[in-house]
Amino acid sequence: HLASPRLVARAGGEIVGWAALGPVSARECYRGVTENSIYVDPAARGQGVGRALLSELVRRADAAGVWTIQAGILAGNDASVALHRRCGFRVVGRRERIAQKRGVWRDVLLMERRAG
């Protein structure tokens, strides 16, 4: 089973992004399924930081035998959807009004990447 890696990207000594993988469930049947989280500072976007972080998470997950990485992305976050697509993820569903941000209910796209 994959330990929950946490990655940090730095530029000029400052943290400009982070990424993490965590289990989706403690149940044995889901031991090869993880969920990723990723954040890139707005000033560092468009510079390949997100792709480097997500690519490294995917590499580590593949090496550990993870068979599915999931991502829940707020609908409308086109940059994150595009990043995940570039790293082999696809949209598999939409969860309606499941997230609340600044008092507004938001839909979440469920994306996943299956191991080769």
3-state secondary structure the chain: CCCCCEEEEEECCEEEEEEEEEECCCCHHHCCEEEEEEEECHHHCCCCHHHHHHHHHHHHHHHCCCCEEEEEEECCCHHHHHHHHHCCCEEEEEEEEEEEECCEEEEEEEEEEECC
The CA-atom distances, in angstroms, between 67 and each of 11, 48, 82, 116 are 32, 25, 21, 8
Of 65, 62, 76, residue with least CA distance to 108: 76
CB 95 within 8 A of CB 107: yes
Confidence of residue 113 (pLDDT cuts 50, 70, 90): very high
Is pLDDT at 31 greater than 70 in this prediction?
Answer: yes
The per-residue pLDDT for 4 is 72
pLDDT digits (tens, 9 = 90+) for 48-79: 999 999 999 999 999 999 999 999 999 999 99
Q: How many angstroms separate the first and last alpha carbons of the chain?
A: 17
- pLDDT at residue 2 in the model: 61
* pLDDT for the residue 5: 83
Domain residues of the chain, as ranges? 6-114
Question: Angle 31-37-12 (CA atoms, 0-180°, nearest 5)?
Answer: 130
- Please compute the mean of the pLDDT values over residues 10-20 and round it to a whole number: 96
For residue 1, pLDDT over 60 is answered with: no
pLDDT recorded at residue 63: 92
Share of the chain above pLDDT 70, in %: 97
Homologous superfamily (CATH) of 6-114 is: Gcn5-related N-acetyltransferase (GNAT) (3.40.630.30)
Check if the beta carbon of residue 21 is closer than 8 Å to that of residue 60: yes
Q: What's the confidence (pLDDT) of residue 74?
A: 97
Residue 18 has pLDDT above 90, yes or no: yes
